Structure 1
Amino acid sequence: MVTLPGEGRLLAVTDLHGNLADFRAIAARFRSIVDNPGPRPHLLFCGDLVHGPAIGPQEWPEHLGDFYPDETPQLLAEARQLQAAYPRQVHFLLGNHEHAHLGGPKLGKFHPDEAAHLERQYASGGFDPIRRWLAGWALAAVAPVAAIAFTHAAPHAQISGPRDLDDLALAGYESTPLTDMASTGPLGALLWARTTSAERGFAFLRALHDGCRVAVFGHDIVREGHLVEHEPLLCVSSSFGCYDGDKLYLEWDLARPAGSAAEVARDGLRRLYPGARAVHRI
């Protein structure tokens, strides 16, 4: 688990799926404030940086939003460089697509095997350093003072405390049907659950840190950019499946305690491309 400090600004994004332009947009926003006076800012990626569409502009479907080419290898290279430049300020959470390279089930969204397709783009053994890097990504992040927790998917996992996350093995899911992943235990829920009940969501938050009141996650596509289905759930769509004008990221003062998901959505969400026209509105 990543534990964020109680000061500084936090920028959090979800589900880039190989969109290099969107990565560069949030990285530019982070760099624009990194040298400001005061506490250091933090940038959190909430999983699924990898595996973009293999669809040309002429065949691009409306439900995927604005067209973009899959540039996962370059995105991963720039993400590693960004973290190397700011090692205590840039953080990554594991998504179900990264898990496919670490013992997760085979994914076939745009290729018969997304992990194999990406790894073939590297020379023999060239993906091994990437795999070791991915294996070190956290499964959750918590901002204790801000009272916000972050996961890739909905906070459906049942745990007794943060140390439970350290005991989760990543391997062994290669043959698990995708439809069963969310119910296979804490790891499957953290990477695959699309929603959860208020009771279970709050129980997960209390297990991570007593006093947490908001869960921020991605995984699902919200065409309008975000959804508060019910408290404490705030699902955010920063990239994949959205038009540029609908893509949102979270920017929050880590010294400000959040009272609810609705408050965080109202006061903390920002447009990734402020000048782009919003297509969908909640």
Structure 2
Amino acid sequence: MDTLLSLRVFAEVAEHKNFSAVAQRLGLSPAMTSKHVKHVEARVGARLLNRNSRNVSLTEAGAQYLQTIRPLLDGLTEAEAQLTTDSLSPRGTLKMSMPAWMSNPAFAKILTAYHQKNPHVTFDIDLSGRKINMVEEGVDLALRVAFKLDDGLIARKLAEVTFQLVAAPSFLDNFGRPKTSEDLNNAPMLAYSQVAADGRIKFGGEEGMDIKLRPILTSSNESILHQAAVAGMGFAMLPNWSAQNDVKDGRLEAVLPTIAWPKLHIQAIYADRSYLPTKVRSFLDFLAGPDGFSGSLK
């Protein structure tokens, strides 16, 4: 028999002191209600209820047992109610991993807008750029522009990110401003190890042309590449989303802006499980909606 149901039946009978009323309340037959109580008594090896044709009362052992299990049953009921609420309303901590370049005002506005609509969701965000084990580390969601899927993970494309080659004006004053892509061969590059660790950049859309620069700084953290570019160390291929303000304010210059530089997709990576928590599903839908990436990745 279902022991948990038997415990609930016992508690109901003990409190209402009536088998028939509890049977009707729980949608059981009186005989089945009695069987559930006998099942509990058999498990604990003690008589828990005194019953006769007129009334039902707790034995001393029954009173002690009811006092022990009632808080447990109440806690379970509360937990079930909470899970039901969670399935309808996003809540809880959303643990995420994402590239360091997403630490910018545009993405902060996305987080703020989502939180305003879903105030019961909080965020725990890792920007280290390291390779993570999502299942072992309990990460709900990873956002990546370059990612090889491990077994048991699935990906959802959210938006397309345009990259652009940039450099500081002071660097270009010394190096010279390239007129063609050939001028970039063997040029000093600040290379993102996840995409172009060897300094090779493919561009030109379907034509599949490429150039080979010379990496002088390689990192999986885009922030140091970005800052080194602003400092005048070399060329960097940065997401337009993170570089556009520096280009606008003159700290960086777009190099050969008419070239169709690489475009990559931001992918949402999450564990392939049958139940996707509401907090994850709602945030993914928000990122894909008008208030998410589509409204920010200009």
Q: Normalization by structure 2: what TM-score?
A: 0.23
Structure 1 or 2: more strand by fraction: 2
Could you tell me the TM-score, scaled by structure 1's length?
0.24
Greater per-residue helix proportion: 2
